[in-house]
Amino acid sequence: MSLWTRVKSVGDALWAPSKVGFGPGEPLSPVAPSEQPRRADYQVGRNMLVSPRASESRSVTFSQMRQLARIHGVLRTVIEKRKDELKGLEWTIAVKPEFMGKGYEPEAKEALKFFEKPDLENTFDQWLGMLTEDIFVIDAPCLFKERDRLGNLRSLQVIDGSTILVLVDDRGRVPAPPQMAYEQKFKADVIGQSVEKTTFTAAISNPTSLTPIVVDTGKLYIDTSWASLGNTEKASTIVDFNWKISEGVLPFKALNGSLSYTDRSEKKRHIELEGTFAFNAVTNDLWANFTAQTPIFARLQFTGPAITGGNSTFVLDGCYVIDSFGALEDKDGLDVVKLKLVSIKDAISAKEWQAVLTNSLATMP
């Protein structure tokens, strides 16, 4: 019997029941229809997932790797150094000596001209920087070959590799042409809005005078609960900030361009705290809060000389989640990052935010 005949016969062999005591037992009967073996135990419905590579059970997501590469100073320096080294290499596209004079010179010149702007927008160095960013940060570079109507290569577009889902067939392999093997996935948050009729009170007049606040003399407190807020000062951390109340009210806009508040749409009212923070141990802790989306309790306090006109104290308190964590930047020789905090309601204290102005009197009235 030849080896190939014996290999083919193995697949047709039936299970022989065990005839010994305390044996291995007979295998479970298949519950799925008869099929060929799979390369790997892939997740059921894998090709239907919205987030690419969600079935791989990665402990670190693509977005976390991108954020780490943006804010970690040493890592960012190493990445930029490697990108600069690649951009500094001299290169050309030319015909090999053994093929000189055989009519390949025009094609070499055309290819060289193509790579001057591979995506028709950026120079080769800029294009290479975009491609190597995804190589070094998420290890998922991706290029889309854009073609003209005749099928000729028109450009090479750098695509965000974190949006590409690699498909598999029934046996867990990447499908062969002409079947589709890759798919770009996007997801979006859809926010519903309730519309209701309402009436408004008379308009509030604008203030006649404004009281300036000196940010440099203010204090920042960050704690883990509303009850302990104001106990832990974070000195030399906040550089500047913008604290605003978002009412979430959107007027109805008619076709003629007029605005009507009788019929309006509403979103959740919240506070937005956008600020520039010094890059130190405090912001490292805030990075952990950002990745885990755990709430923080922050207080901005201004007392005495910080407010013009006496011994007043102005306090802005809030329970926040960090909505965005910016890249590491330089401001007047100081490493800083920009954060955006959005208020949420604390389930324990049932509070979300408060603004308190206290006037201290020299004598009792």
What pLDDT score was predicted for residue 88? 92
Torsion (CA) 46, 49, 51, 54 in degrees, nearest 10: -30
**Contacts of residue 147, Cβ cutoff 8 Å, sequence gap at least 6:** 153, 154
Task: Please report which residue ranges of the chain form alpha helices under DSSP H.
Answer: 3-10, 62-71, 73-87, 105-114, 124-137, 281-292
Contact 181, 174 (CB under 8 A): yes
Query: Could you list the mean pLDDT of each consecutive 10-residue stretch along the chain, which spans 365 residues?
Result: 62 65 75 73 74 65 86 90 93 91 91 93 93 93 91 92 86 87 67 46 60 69 87 81 77 66 67 86 85 88 61 83 86 85 86 78 47
Cβ-count burial 71-106 (b if 16+ within 10 Å, e if not): bbeeebeebeeebeeeeeeeeeeebeeeeeeeeeee
The reply to whether CATH 2.30.110 applies to domain 212-358 is yes
What pLDDT score was predicted for residue 81? 93
What pLDDT score was predicted for residue 145? 92
What is the rounded distance in angstroms from the CA atom of residue 53 to the CA atom of residue 61? 9
Per-residue tokens: 238 = 């906040």
Contact 153, 145 (CB under 8 A): yes
For residue 154, CA distances in Å to 15, 74, 179, 302 come to: 58, 38, 23, 59
Backbone angles phi, psi at 242, to 5 degrees: -135, 115
Q: Is the dihedral of CA 313, 314, 318, 322 positive or negative?
A: negative
In the chain, where the domains are located: 46-184, 212-358
* Predicted TM-score (pTM) of this structure: 0.47
Give the N- to C-terminal CA distance of the chain in Å, as an integer: 113
Query: What is the CA angle 298-245-287, rounded to 5?
Result: 35
What pLDDT score was predicted for residue 251? 67
What is the rounded distance in angstroms from the CA atom of residue 344 to the CA atom of residue 296? 10
Contact 345, 319 (CB under 8 A): yes
What is the rounded distance in angstroms from the CA atom of residue 66 to the CA atom of residue 84? 19
Contact 203, 211 (CB under 8 A): no
**Contacts of residue 83, Cβ cutoff 8 Å, sequence gap at least 6:** 128, 129, 132, 133, 136
Residue 274 CB neighbour total at 10 angstroms: 17
User: 92: helix, coil or strand?
Assistant: coil
